[in-house]
Amino acid sequence: KPPGLPPGRWGLPLVGYITWTSKNFEDQVMDLHDQYGDIFLWRMGTQLMVFVKDYKLVKEAYSRFDFIDRPNWEILKTFEETGYGITASNGLLWHNNRKFTLRQLRDLGMGKSSLVGAVQQQCLKLRETLAEKAGTPGMIPHQLHVTVLNVIWHMVASRQFDAEDERLQEFLRLSAKFSTSNRVALKDFFPWLENFMPNFLFKRLITYHEMKHLLEMFIRYFSDEIEEHKATLDPDNPLDLIDSYLLEMEAKKEDPNTTCSERDLTFILLSMFFAGSETTVNTFTWLCCYLAAHPQVQRKLHAEIDEVLPNGALPTLAEKPRMPYTEAIINEVMRACSLVNFGLAHMATSDTHLGGYTIPKGAVMNSTVTSIHYDSRYWDRPKEFRPERWLDDNGKFSMAKEGFLPFGVGKRTCVGESLARMELFILTTMVFQSFSIAPPPGKSVNLTPDLSDLFFRKAMPNEFIFTVREQ
Ligand code: HEM
């Protein structure tokens, strides 16, 4: 191992350090932090992975330009020459797309009544579904997915779909296939396999044709939407993100440095749906779990909702400052569940240094978010679920900035944070205005995370009983 690198697992050339253990990946990373400290490396195949569990180091790295890129991985780009969209792209194209999307989110939605109104409408439908199932044990209904997807649809294409709508169903089918095709990662971690195998065998191993086909299906899916928008576009009155992108593309068509293209627009849409749906759905599912497991927290939430939103008044963002306990619960849930447990990977764009160690160009940085959210340097009694930790002495919500990064930190923080926070606020207030939640009699809520997914710490499939509240 070259000198100056962080301590950790180096292993053999080409294969790196391979372990044979039944332990899940997160527990292995935690053990390695215990062994090596705040920063360690693990060579996986030919890929150098660096894990950091010190908030200050993560913040420092992700605020610097030399850690700004995403890795050049096929699993992110899906065999495109360049990564398009936002989440997987780099350089000028990423910069332009991020700026465009943040502007869109601000102009189309945040703080504006139209998007809040769309979220309210969706939440009313979710309440109808919950009312139909009230009193009987069941999982969080599929309508939650529909609610969150429809908010994104509203923003990008001014559309909303019923749960049974074929177009919505097709998107869910395609996404489900996408999340199970992770064998492409073999190309990123063991690229030399390609030289040792006949081409057709390698392609079969990494499910190349399936992935290509899936990508084409997604592109066709969104192309239809883009074509419909082109036909109805009113340049003086852009209605949504697709309209605005088409206008920007037209305005820049003579600009030799333009990064706009219809293909790129498709990938922006994919970025929004992929990054914005599972994250919000799973965070709200965790919130239901924590409330069902902590009836005393739920009682306080009900009291705050009843006081600020009497007689079934619908919430808007104007009520947020008067609902500090609701805000505290949402933030405490995000800390406790640490949904995106390693954040999204960043890559060192040049040979650089961090925490006194050398980090070579191409090394991939991961933040161990769960460790940071349970780090006693920032959190008093971190293992306790205590929304009160977010309230100051006057009962006002106070955002702890150090040691908290559910949306990442630095230059690539989540572009959808304000949207996600708005959705979670409206969902929480509207659902618990009408219902209380509890595990079925004789059962308790399992708060142990499901660690089988590499990206998300999802809640275990718990059953709940929603009960209609007396208004
Ligand atoms: C509770 C819900 C959400 C959570 C926990 C979450 C979390 C994250 C995290 C951890 C990152 C990576 C930051 C980094 O690379 O350092 C990220 C990036 C991103 N998120 Fe979110 N997110 C949520 C909701 C949303 C929503 C609603 C949208 C949009 C509709 C969205 C769009 C994005 C995009 C486009 C990126 C990539 C940013 C970039 O690469 O520059 N997210 N998010």
pTM above 0.90, yes or no: yes
The answer, yes or no, to whether any atom of ligand 1 lies below 6 A from the CB of 419, is: yes
From the CA of 173, how far away is ligand 1's center (Å)? 22
From the CA of 117, how far away is ligand 1's center (Å)? 22
- Listed range (254-258, 290-294, 467-471) with the worst mean pLDDT: 467-471
The answer for residues whose C-beta is within 8 angstroms of residue 157's C-beta and 6 or more apart is: 225, 229, 240, 241, 242
| Integer Cα distance of 124 and 107 in angstroms | 25
* pLDDT for residue 79: 75
The answer, yes or no, to whether any atom of ligand 1 lies below 6 A from the CB of 406, is: yes
| Integer Cα distance of 51 and 297 in angstroms | 34
From the CA of 414, how far away is ligand 1's center (Å)? 3
- Statement: residue 364 has pLDDT above 80: yes
Question: Pick from 124, 231, 130, 215: which is nearest to 174 by CA?
Answer: 215
Q: Residues 134-174: pLDDT tens digits?
A: 999 999 999 999 999 999 999 999 999 999 999 999 988 88
Question: 8-468 domain in CATH 3.30.70.120?
Answer: no
* Start-to-end CA span in the chain (Å): 66
Residue 405 alpha carbon, nearest atom of ligand 1: 10
Residue 152 alpha carbon, nearest atom of ligand 1: 30
Average confidence (pLDDT) over 40-54: 97
The answer for residues whose C-beta is within 8 angstroms of residue 344's C-beta and 6 or more apart is: 70, 87, 408, 412
Q: Residues 407-464: pLDDT tens digits?
A: 999 999 999 999 999 999 999 999 999 999 999 999 999 999 999 888 899 999 999 9
- Mean model confidence pLDDT for the chain: 93
The answer for residues whose C-beta is within 8 angstroms of residue 165's C-beta and 6 or more apart is: none
* pLDDT for residue 212: 87
Is 260 labeled as ligand-binding?
no
The answer, yes or no, to whether any atom of ligand 1 lies below 6 A from the CB of 339, is: yes
What are the structural domain ranges in the chain? 8-468
105 and 415 Cβ atoms separated by less than 8 Å: yes
Residue 343 alpha carbon, nearest atom of ligand 1: 10
Q: What is the DSSP secondary structure assignment for residue 458, as one 8-state letter?
A: B
Identify the helix (H) or strand (E) that includes residue 216: helix 208-232
